[in-house]
Amino acid sequence: MEGLSRKDRLWMHSMRTCRKYCGCHQMPDRSFFIGEYQFPLCARCTGIVIGHILGLTVSAFHAVSCMSLLGTLPLMIDGTVQKFTSYESTNGRRLFTGILYGFGMMSAFIRGVKAFILWANERGGR
């Protein structure tokens, strides 16, 4: 790693970390770039992370319905159709479906945690 700039070392570290801990494939044609640097997550995984952050933020202030789980369907459909046909999704679509999926999953998770806490408090009060 000698001779590499601090920016290059940071980018290489973020790519290794995201591959190891996030399980992202990091395919260049399915990723966004800033200048010459590829995002450490593909477009779909980037969307999922954004969706998780949005879901966590919104759930903190508003009750979110389990209907938000319907937001997971577009990603599942897009990914499945892409896997089994010649259809090729775009990075914009991957990002958008990832956001919906991440929001739906995080909202449902937070709702489940809140329900469990209420249940445990009621059960403990008996």
* Tens of pLDDT, residues 40-76: 999 999 999 999 999 999 987 887 777 888 999 999 9
Q: Which amino acid is at 83?
A: K
pLDDT at 74: 95
- Is residue 70 domain-resident? yes
- Is residue 1 domain-resident? no
The residue segments making up the domain with residue 78 are 6-124
| 125: confidence class by pLDDT, cuts 50, 70, 90 | low
Q: Which amino acid is at 5?
A: S
Number of structural domains (the chain) is: 1
Give pLDDT tens digits for 25-37. 899 999 999 998 9
| 18: confidence class by pLDDT, cuts 50, 70, 90 | confident
- Is residue 16 domain-resident? yes
pLDDT at 126: 60
- Is residue 92 domain-resident? yes
Of 50, 45, 96, 42, the C-alpha closest to 74 is 96
The strand pairing partners of 37, in sequence order, are: 34
Q: Which pTM value belongs to this model?
A: 0.85
Of 53, 60, 49, the C-alpha closest to 14 is 49
Residues of the chain with pLDDT > 90, as a percent, come to 53
- Is residue 29 domain-resident? yes
Return the structure tokens found at 99. Answer: 């956001």
pLDDT at 1: 60
